[in-house]
Structure 1
Amino acid sequence: MSSTTGPATPPTLRSLIPSVFLPAVVYEIGIGAITPVVAITALDLGASAGTAGFLVALLGIGQLVGNVPSAAVAARLGDRRAMVVAAGVSVGAVTGCFVAPSLPLLGVCLLVLGMGNSTFYLARQSYLTEVVPLDLRARALSMLGGSHRVGLFIGPFVGAVVISLASLRAAYLVAAVAAALAAVLLLVIPDVAAAGPARPARRTRGGRGYRTMLREHRPLLATLGVAVLAIGAVRAARQVVLPLWAVHIGLSPEATSLVFGIASAVDMALFYPSGKVMDRYGRLTVALPSMVVLGLAMAALPLTGGIVGLTAVAMVMSLGNGIGSGIVMTLGADAAPPHDRLRFLSIWRLMSDTGVAVGPVVVSLVAGAWTLAAGIVVVGGVGVLAAGALARWAPRYSAFATPAMVRARREAA
């Protein structure tokens, strides 16, 4: 796994900031800087609105298809080296976006960037799952999710400043610098060592290993895995339905951006409390209200008719999303087999990322067949169903699902 130095004492959250959370924030600043300009770049190259939307989706598609090979890369190189390689690939990909003279090249670069993102995220999640004490697991993974949120929040502002001083495509240079800086941090700052002997990790390769794991964990993936897919769908749809409804009720782009900024601030403020509650009182104490609040707030979105109502509902949606920070990664860490953690987590991320890809499509299909309001309500209902699935299946596969289970584990320890 990762190369580590230092005494074999239990890691603390503070000790993980330089080697884990700081590189994640820096890397995500770059992704946040380019997210608003990908579609505009495609339009400048002659794409239609539909083609521009597809090019934006290629980033997520690359992350989706990269989940499985990412496990093989991390198993062969180790977590830290895999992240450095992923950051290097990202530098090349965003540099390609900067110079791309055509839509096909831009699309290829975005696809490769998504695959690099997948490796970066998986390797860091696997490392934290292995080295962090069980009583800090949820907080550590929530802080990792929070690091991504912070970076994505800062990135557009940094990109906007650079664009105002140079040109639209200068945002890609911000991403290149951020990915390179993240790689340097990973090379310079050592990982924190796990306390006690290293846990064994089987590093088998090939399709047979994945087929075996899918067969062994079929009940888990068909139940709790589907719930995780639904979580990904609702969270991704949230990013789509807000601007769509804002346009529907006649808000200007500036007003829509303001609503997004306020909602993002609420989201970011909650990742640490979320993890602390999960560690002390169980995963469902956070997961259930997260999905219920997010789902019901989304279903209420069509009731708004102005910026005040939209902002209020957006803040409640962000409250639901924020209190669930890290829940998918934490449940995956709880369920992962110690002997083949990387392979399992790659499948787990594949389930979640599939939901991320499906959520906006559901909104689009229902809106096309019926109305936009109906599409929003349907996806909100998916959030409530996800809460029900979590309540039913999380206690079976996570030893820390409920307050009683956490107390029992603590007493046994």
Structure 2
Amino acid sequence: MHPLTGAGTDQPISIATAIRRLLVPLYLPAFFFFVGVGMLVPTLPLLLAEFGVSYTAIAVGVAVVSVGTILFNLPAGVLLGRFSNRVVTTVGALVMLATTLPLVVADEFTQVLLLRLVFGCGLSMVFLSRVTLLGEAVDVEHRGRATAVLGGTMRISRFFLGPALVGLFGAFLDLRALFAVAAAFQAVAAVAAWFGQRGEEELRRTETPRTNVFQGLDVARVYLQPRVAIASAGAFLGQFTRAARLAIIPFFGAFVLDLDASAIGYITAVGGALDMVFFPLAGWMMDRLGRKFCSVPSFTVMGLGMFLVAVSDTWMLLLIASAVLGIGNGLGSGALMTLGVDLSPPDRISEFLGAWRAIGEVGELSGSVLPGQFGDSVGFENGSMILGAIGLFGGLLILLFVPETLKKSPARVQKSA
């Protein structure tokens, strides 16, 4: 029995009760984490542009956070196998705080790169701890909706409130001051994580103790299974498309349409607003119809949104494209996280999810860098067309080759019949 939700008992609790019990230890800290992260989406490219570097260099500066998460996902998974979820989450939040605040005074491109690299390590601990807690606490039949709530919380904070706050504060604060506001949200997140999970030492994984990182790497054998390998490719393309979506809007707005931080913030926020509207529907679809019923439409709509970006010649058209991308992302809210949790071995969930996140982060890194490279080589218009084609290919791959992981219990099968 899980002490937070009652998962694993003979009398399973309702999804509403599970979500309510996870509100303070899981969802509240995640909200504050990703408001701060979301404020960096429209502002970081503008900060990097102050150093007079190329579009590709700016893209690298934006994407280097993914290098940090890639490098630290496996160690973070092992840490979660040894220490409490509360400790790992709080340490990750403090790392994010300590690497966001110095952006206020950073005066060299390499300084920003280093700060963002270490920030990625903290982000890895925070994100993986959230997903691990959810996977341990919620039964498979409710997992889609519980994960969609987590994904929706992240979307509301990261893709809507964060950029919207940039638009709001950017009207009377300079660019550097916005990073101090973002750091303040990370500080609140650290406090929420520490006190919200106080006394929850039972979150520590004790079934199969790990003593070092190498013992945790035996989970690699699971990834040799064909269905897991194919699903991993889907996770790669999914994170690629999502990252490219986040990168292309600020790039296109700033360097094609010559928009300022406030305008880009509002455009990004519109997409985020529509994104968050769809996460309840995504969770219901995952638990009732299957995980693929969310993933395939999500990739398809995002691919079409990329094509709209390519033909945008006014801020209004870019706003519409951002809205379409937000809808597409919202349709897949929590789908890849749920798929990873579904496939993870019960005795190695944190280590498996660490590797799962590493694969996804490689896709995210690629999706963050390529838009800038396209801007330098073929232009952002042509680059957006290529990104749209990649998104459509990802949807096709999942449709044809990724297995469905939703397994209904006998009671639910009888009820649906």
Q: TM-score range by the shorter chain?
A: 0.7 to 0.9
- Say if 1:131 and 1:193, in contact at 8 Å, map to a contact too: no
Give the alignment of 1:154-303 within 5 angstroms: 154-158=161-165, 168-190=175-197, 200-203=207-210, 205-207=212-214, 209-210=216-217, 212-218=218-224, 219-246=226-253, 250=257, 252-253=259-260, 256-303=264-311
Q: CA RMSD in A?
A: 3.4
Note the residue ranges of structure 2 that are not aligned, 5 or more in a row.
none
Letter in 2 for 1:90: M
Change (3 A) 1:318 1:157: closer
Please report how far the alpha carbon of residue 348 of structure 1 lies from its aligned counterpart in structure 2 after TM superposition: 0.6
Structure 2 residue aligned with 1:84? 90
Change (3 A) 1:369 1:110: closer
Structure 1 residue aligned with 2:43? 37
Structure 1 residue aligned with 2:140? 134
Kindly, what percent of the aligned residue pairs are identical? 27
> 185-194 or 107-116, which moves further after superposition?
185-194
Query: Is residue 72 of structure 1 aligned with residue 72 of structure 2?
Result: no
Please report how far the alpha carbon of residue 280 of structure 1 lies from its aligned counterpart in structure 2 after TM superposition: 1.4
Q: Which whole-Å CA distance do the structure 1 matches of 2:400 and 2:235 have between them?
A: 13
Q: Which has the higher contact order (CA 8 A, sep 6+)?
A: 2
- Say if 1:266 and 1:318, in contact at 8 Å, map to a contact too: yes
Structure 1 residue aligned with 2:149? 143
Q: Which whole-Å CA distance do the structure 2 matches of 1:259 and 1:105 have between them?
A: 29
Please report how far the alpha carbon of residue 243 of structure 1 lies from its aligned counterpart in structure 2 after TM superposition: 4.1
- Say if 1:32 and 1:154, in contact at 8 Å, map to a contact too: yes
Change (3 A) 1:199 1:320: farther
- Say if 2:73 and 2:124, in contact at 8 Å, map to a contact too: yes
Please report how far the alpha carbon of residue 63 of structure 1 lies from its aligned counterpart in structure 2 after TM superposition: 2.1
Deviation per residue, 1:73-120 (Å, 9 max, x gap)? 222212121001111222222233344454443332221111101100
Letter in 2 for 1:213: V
- SS at structure 2 position matched to 1:37: helix
Please report how far the alpha carbon of residue 355 of structure 1 lies from its aligned counterpart in structure 2 after TM superposition: 0.9
Q: Which whole-Å CA distance do the structure 1 matches of 2:308 and 2:182 have between them?
A: 36
Deviation per residue, 1:238-263 (Å, 9 max, x gap)? 22333444567646446554433322
Letter in 1 for 2:137: V
Query: Is residue 22 of structure 1 aligned with residue 24 of structure 2?
Result: no
- Say if 2:282 and 2:330, in contact at 8 Å, map to a contact too: yes
Q: Which whole-Å CA distance do the structure 2 matches of 1:192 and 1:382 have between them?
A: 46
Structure 1 residue aligned with 2:329? 321
Change (3 A) 1:113 1:3: farther
The TM-score, its normalising length taken from structure 2, stands at 0.84
Note the residue ranges of structure 1 that are not aligned, 5 or more in a row.
none
Query: Is residue 334 of structure 1 aligned with residue 342 of structure 2?
Result: yes
Query: Is residue 390 of structure 1 aligned with residue 398 of structure 2?
Result: yes
Q: Which whole-Å CA distance do the structure 2 matches of 1:389 and 1:201 have between them?
A: 35
Aligned length: 402
Q: Which whole-Å CA distance do the structure 2 matches of 1:190 and 1:273 have between them?
A: 29
Query: Is residue 111 of structure 1 aligned with residue 113 of structure 2?
Result: no
